[in-house]
């Protein structure tokens, strides 16, 4: 008999397993996207009162809405809008947290086309207000996840603007960023990185 969480997900192991043996867990082919993993992580943080971080809703331009009698309004025509900010924000120990999460199937570098000018501008605005701002980058094939502070992303972005390479090499990410511990609970423990670099 499989044990299930209240959300219906099957329980696949104990979180009391020592870290060493945890690493042997295979997270491959779980069919979880980075977004799902981060949502589960944020839910964990929220339930344990560790942090309050939410994904923003997808921005949609609503054109036509139908209001049928005795039932809910139906949006009949709408279009996806480009987001003017990053996808995730919230609060940890009073500080403002803001980040974007992206993954690539590339093996040796992360394409900068995953980001847009307006997102970079938003991140610069956040940094100017002393917010904690970063990106979470996942290499899908190896399932390695990195935390890269926005200031480093800005430098790689500028390099591209000046005609330099259109991606960040994995070794650069490993050097300037921090590998995020991947576990069972929380899945992608980015708060542990923030703790180390902002609260110690």
Query: In the bound complex, what is the minimum distance in angstroms from residue 54's beta carbon to a copy of itself?
Result: 6
Using CB under 8 A as the binding rule, whether residue 7 contacts a copy of itself is answered as: no
Nearer to a copy of itself, 40 or 83 (CB): 83
Stretch that binds a copy of itself, among 21-29, 35-43, 94-102, 167-175 (CB under 8 A): 94-102
Residue 6, by phi and psi: left (phi above 0), alpha (psi -120 to 50) or beta?
alpha
SS3 157: helix
Query: In the bound complex, what is the minimum distance in angstroms from residue 66's beta carbon to a copy of itself?
Result: 10
Question: Applying CB under 8 A, which of residues 76, 107, 161, 166 lies at the interface with a copy of itself?
Answer: 76
Q: Could you say which residues in the range 118-147 bind a copy of itself, by CB under 8 A?
A: 122, 125-126, 128-131
Residue 89 · residue 54 · CB < 8 Å = yes
In a 13 Å sphere around the CA of 165, the CA atoms on its Cβ side amount to: 10
Nearer to a copy of itself, 10 or 128 (CB): 128
Gap between the Cα atoms of 143 and 136, Å rounded: 12
- Which residues have C-beta within 8 Å of that of residue 25, sequence separation ≥ 6? 13, 184
Nearer to a copy of itself, 75 or 179 (CB): 75
Strand duo 60-66 + 74-80: pairing: antiparallel
φ/ψ (deg, to 5) at 68: -70, 150
Site string for a copy of itself, 45-74 (x = CB under 8 A): -x--x-xx-x-xxxxx-x---------xxx
- To the question of whether residue 100 is assigned a binding role by annotation, the answer is yes
Closest Cα partner for 84 from 100, 95, 96? 100
Nearer to a copy of itself, 97 or 153 (CB): 97
Gap between the Cα atoms of 41 and 180, Å rounded: 12
Annotated binding site for Mg(2+): 85, 87, 100, 119
Q: Contact positions toward a copy of itself, by CB under 8 A?
A: 46, 49, 51-52, 54, 56-60, 62, 72-81, 83-85, 89-98, 122, 125-126, 128-131
């Amino acid at each position: 008999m499989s044990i299930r969480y209240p959300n219906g997900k099957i329980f696949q192991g104990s979180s009391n397993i020592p870290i060493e043996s945890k690493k042997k867990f295979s997270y491959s082919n779980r069919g979880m996207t980075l977004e799902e993993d981060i949502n589960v992580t944020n839910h964990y943080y929220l339930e344990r009162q560790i942090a309050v971080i939410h994904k923003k809703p997808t921005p949609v331009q609503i054109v036509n809405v139908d209001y049928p009698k005795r039932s809910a309004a139906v949006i009949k025509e709408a279009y996806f809008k480009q987001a003017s900010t990053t996808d995730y924000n919230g609060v940890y120990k009073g500080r403002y947290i803001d980040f974007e999460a992206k993954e690539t199937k590339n093996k040796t570098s992360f394409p900068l086309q995953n980001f847009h000018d307006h997102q970079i501008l938003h991140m610069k605005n956040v940094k100017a207000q002393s917010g904690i701002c970063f990106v979470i980058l996942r290499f899908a094939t190896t399932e390695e996840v990195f935390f890269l502070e926005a200031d480093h992303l800005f430098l790689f972005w500028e390099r591209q603007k000046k005609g330099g390479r259109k991606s960040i090499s994995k070794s650069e990410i490993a050097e300037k960023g921090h590998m995020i511990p991947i576990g069972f609970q929380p899945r992608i423990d980015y708060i542990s990185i923030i703790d180390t670099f902002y609260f110690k």
